[in-house]
């Protein structure tokens, strides 16, 4: 069912209709007026429509991403609201910049229209947990931070796994660490764990990077990819 902001009657509209036998004219019988549609002190009286969805329970605190779209009369925008298992309270999140972690999720949509009644006809949303991956086979990992040449667009990095190639002595002693989790340019570094102080030492490894896809906002809608 569509939701609408305050209607846009004017006093003159009601007077022009001048219905008979309804018992609410003349004007002195009215006790309130929205003012919509008439410029009063620089304002036309059109109001924003703000609607918050019922919360979704994910069962436990989880990392997630989402997509959301709306059909509206007027320009709409979404805010993601997240609460954790401790019920510390809902916090507003921007999906394009913030990590989304929590148990309870709501969406707040605001519809703005400066020339007509703001209206929200529908909301379609989905919370998702599926990850994306890419692999770097035979990748040369330096003794200093080495940037992975990623091709995917990530909103958040979740995990990195590796397998050392057979080009070093005692390969079981080598460890690859994700030294920089910047989602646009993650870096790895190689360590020899069998030396005093775990000395950084170059190696070659097959590496798999796992994360969530990026969320973008277009025309007020949150999309994935």
Q: Tens digit of pLDDT per residue, the chain (225 long)?
A: 466 665 555 555 555 555 554 454 555 555 555 555 555 555 556 678 899 999 999 999 999 999 999 999 889 999 999 999 999 999 999 999 999 999 999 999 999 876 677 889 999 999 999 999 999 999 999 999 999 999 999 999 999 999 998 665 666 788 899 999 888 999 999 998 876 767 898 989 999 999 999 999 999 999 998
* 173: three-class secondary structure by DSSP: helix
Tokens of 178: 């994700």
Report the DSSP pairing between strands 56-63 and 101-112.
antiparallel
CB 60 within 8 A of CB 129: no
Residue 212: in which H helix or E strand, if any?
strand 203-213
What predicted TM-score, i.e. pTM, was given to this entire model?
A: 0.73
Q: Where are the beta strands (DSSP E) in 41-198?
A: 49-52, 56-63, 65-73, 75-83, 91-93, 101-112, 119-128, 132-141, 146-147, 154-164, 174-180, 187-192
So where are the chain's domains? 49-130, 132-212
In words, the CATH class of domain 132-212 is mainly beta
Length reported for the chain: 225
């Amino acid at each position: 069912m569509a939701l609408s902001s305050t209607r846009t009657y004017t006093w003159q509209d009601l007077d022009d209709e001048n219905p008979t036998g309804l018992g609410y004219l003349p004007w002195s019988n009215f006790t309130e007026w929205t003012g919509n549609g008439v410029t009063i002190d620089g304002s036309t009286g059109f109001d924003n429509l703000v609607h918050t969805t019922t919360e979704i329970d994910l069962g436990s605190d989880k990392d997630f991403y989402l997509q959301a779209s709306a059909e509206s009369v007027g320009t709409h925008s979404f805010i993601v609201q997240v609460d954790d298992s401790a019920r510390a309270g809902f916090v507003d999140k921007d999906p394009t910049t913030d990590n989304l972690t929590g148990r309870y999720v709501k969406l707040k949509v605001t519809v703005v229209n400066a020339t007509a009644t703001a209206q929200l006809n529908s909301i379609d949303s989905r919370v998702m947990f599926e990850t994306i991956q890419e692999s770097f086979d035979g990748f040369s990992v330096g003794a200093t931070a080495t940037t992975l040449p990623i091709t995917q667009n990530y909103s958040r990095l979740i995990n990195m796994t590796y397998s050392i190639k057979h080009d070093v002595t005692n390969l079981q002693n080598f460890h690859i660490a994700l030294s920089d989790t910047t989602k646009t340019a993650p870096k790895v570094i190689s360590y020899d764990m069998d030396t005093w102080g775990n000395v950084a030492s170059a190696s070659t490894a097959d590496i798999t990077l796992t994360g969530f896809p990026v969320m973008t906002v277009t025309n007020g809608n949150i999309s994935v990819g």
